[in-house]
Amino acid sequence: MDLVIKNGMIVTATETYQADIGIEGESIALIGKDLSGDETIDAKGKYVMPGGIDPHTHMELPFMGSISADDFRTGTIAAACGGTTTIIDFAIQGAGQTLREALDIWLEKAAGKACIDYGMHVAIGSMDDDRMAEMGDMVEFGVPSFKIFMAYKGSFMVDDETLYRALLRAKEIGGLITVHAENGDVLNYLINKHVAEGKKEPIWHALSHPPEAEAEATHRAVVLAGMTGAPLYVVHMSSADALEALKEGRSQGFKVYGETCPQYLMFSMEKYEEPNFEGAKFVMSPPLRPKGNSEALWKGLASGDLQAVGTDHCPFNFVGQKDMGKDDFSKIPNGMPGVETRLPLIYHFGVNEGLFSVNRFVELVSTGPARLFGLLPRKGTIAIGADADLVLWDPKKKHKLSKENLHMNVDHSPYEDVTVTGYPAVVLQRGKVIVRDNKFVGEDGAGKFLKRSPIHL
């Protein structure tokens, strides 16, 4: 063995047991007792878990007149420090582009910069017969998941025919359609109305994105998925009513799955009323919801009604980016940082608070995303032959999630005063240590593009 992780408590989505892990090259070669190798890492007192998989990031995203502040280098270093070893980002088809052209632009942004492994989804901006054919090429190339924006009228939003055609095609080719589910026409009306009435403070962002508009779009996407028989994954679910629409679809036997994000679990819409424009830090779509919604989302994670936690990591600096909307909420770039804090928050507020087991935690942050997005069994579990992407998790380690203790390239932390218990001690990617004691020690740009398998859920 090149490397042995000794004395750790292995935690997968289904099992917890004490054993050593033997690594040869980039993969797990042996799991057993008393293994020896050229090098050893002592994991006594630590959980040894599969590296986190974040299925929803936006590095270097040009959006609302700005560009999200993390590039693939800074964003993936931050991800690694928080225990995530794989991200799936979104290539977005611009006007007049083929899907392949869009994908190539994003592959170029990531190549040589990403410090952890990465996959890509492709967001469909227009759909004709050629693009439908091209979806098959994407799956063959290892990009089996697609995004449909039902919101952001005038930029990313597409119509229901596009969604319906994408679902039909996805069913044929082993694709998975992901949706941003909000009724973009209704939001557009409300945003314009409120701005025209001079209602321009950050709270009006939330009041222009009502939960009903999310629930309606979720219901619509779920019904279309049911009609086509295609699988559907609803990203960044923020409200109890949207979750009900998803549950209803599942109860009818539709293959519909849902993700939420830590920000919707941690905060409610009162944040938008903080003084000094602080609420702008939380302006994203969907917005934070009235109290009560996050409790429903936590329950959904515990019960299995929600299948994954992503981050929708899309950071903008408070100074120089968020303040573009100082006088008008509709000009505040939408998005929040989160790629580094996902595992610690879900562990602390989910496992430590007794809402679910450490195995369910692994399912939500790693195995579930791997299964849903065509990465299992290479990623997302601890098994012979899998990539040795491992987190040695110290369940006793306390960490304050303040800006100076984090690596994301953004001028604030939404969790400035939050101290969690449970944090990565060591992180490995493909058998190499890339993080030790909150410092990235891996090789710059060593992340690999992951060709994912077709998805049959």
Read off the DSSP letter of residue 319. T
Minimum Å gap between C-beta 255 and Zn ion is 21
Minimum Å gap between C-beta 184 and ligand URP is 11
Long-range Cβ contacts of 269-274 (<8 Å, 24+ apart): 269/203, 269/206, 272/201, 272/202, 272/203, 272/205, 272/206, 273/202, 273/203
* Binding string, residues 219-258; x marks residues near ligand URP by CB under 6 A: -----------------x----------------------
Per the CB < 8 A criterion, the answer to whether 110 and 118 are in contact is yes
Q: What is the CA radius of gyration of the chain?
A: 21
- Please tell me the count of residues contacting ligand URP according to CB under 6 A: 9
3 state DSSP class of 193: helix
Minimum Å gap between C-beta 147 and ligand URP is 8
- Please tell me the count of residues contacting Zn ion according to CB under 5 A: 2
Minimum Å gap between C-beta 90 and Zn ion is 7
Instruction: Say which entry of Zn ion, ligand URP, none residue 228 contacts (CB below 5 to 8 A, set by partner kind).
Output: none
Instruction: Say which entry of Zn ion, ligand URP, none residue 452 contacts (CB below 5 to 8 A, set by partner kind).
Output: none
Q: Using the rule CB under 6 A, is 271 a contact of ligand URP? A: no
Minimum Å gap between C-beta 190 and Zn ion is 17
Q: How far apart, in Å, are the Cα atoms of 447 and each of 86, 99, 108, 203, 379?
A: 9, 23, 13, 39, 14
Instruction: Say which entry of Zn ion, ligand URP, none residue 239 contacts (CB below 5 to 8 A, set by partner kind).
Output: none
Minimum Å gap between C-beta 236 and ligand URP is 6
Residue closer to ligand URP, measured from CB, 134 or 312: 312
Q: Using the rule CB under 6 A, is 263 a contact of ligand URP? A: no
Instruction: Say which entry of Zn ion, ligand URP, none residue 335 contacts (CB below 5 to 8 A, set by partner kind).
Output: ligand URP
Q: Please give the full DSSP string across 113-146, using - where no structure is assigned.
A: T-SSEEEEEEE-S---HHHHHHHHHHHHHT--EE
Residue closer to Zn ion, measured from CB, 217 or 425: 217
**What is the Cα–Cα distance from 416 to 205, expressed in whole angstroms?**
23
**What is the Cα–Cα distance from 60 to 336, expressed in whole angstroms?**
13
Per the CB < 8 A criterion, the answer to whether 260 and 236 are in contact is yes
Q: Using the rule CB under 6 A, is 386 a contact of ligand URP? A: no
Q: Using the rule CB under 6 A, is 314 a contact of ligand URP? A: yes
Per the CB < 8 A criterion, the answer to whether 144 and 95 are in contact is no
Residue of 300, 335, 414, 422 that binds ligand URP (CB under 6 A): 335
Residue closer to ligand URP, measured from CB, 226 or 335: 335
Instruction: Say which entry of Zn ion, ligand URP, none residue 117 contacts (CB below 5 to 8 A, set by partner kind).
Output: none
Residue of 12, 52, 54, 58 that binds ligand URP (CB under 6 A): 58
Per the CB < 8 A criterion, the answer to whether 78 and 407 are in contact is yes
Instruction: Say which entry of ligand URP, Zn ion, none residue 334 contacts (CB below 5 to 8 A, set by partner kind).
Output: ligand URP
Total residue count of the chain as it appears in this document: 457
Read off the DSSP letter of residue 253. T
* Binding string, residues 171-200; x marks residues near ligand URP by CB under 6 A: ---------x--------------------
Count CB neighbours of 65 within 10 A.
Answer: 10
Minimum Å gap between C-beta 310 and ligand URP is 10
Supply 208's token pair. Answer: 């222009």
Per the CB < 8 A criterion, the answer to whether 262 and 345 are in contact is yes
Instruction: Say which entry of ligand URP, Zn ion, none residue 147 contacts (CB below 5 to 8 A, set by partner kind).
Output: none
Residue of 79, 99, 284, 434 that binds ligand URP (CB under 6 A): 284
Helical residues (DSSP H) of 142-261, grouped into ranges = 160-173, 184-196, 203-207, 211-228, 240-251
Residue closer to ligand URP, measured from CB, 156 or 393: 156
Considering only residues 292 to 331 of the shown chain, the ones binding Zn ion according to CB under 5 A are 312
Q: Using the rule CB under 6 A, is 334 a contact of ligand URP? A: yes
Peptide bond into 286 cis (omega under 30): yes
Q: Using the rule CB under 6 A, is 85 a contact of ligand URP? A: no
Place of tokens 């879900």: 346
Q: Using the rule CB under 5 A, is 180 a contact of Zn ion? A: yes
Element of type H or E holding 79? helix 72-81
Tell me which residues touch Zn ion (CB under 5 A): 180, 312
Tell me which residues touch ligand URP (CB under 6 A): 58, 180, 236, 284-285, 312, 314, 334-335
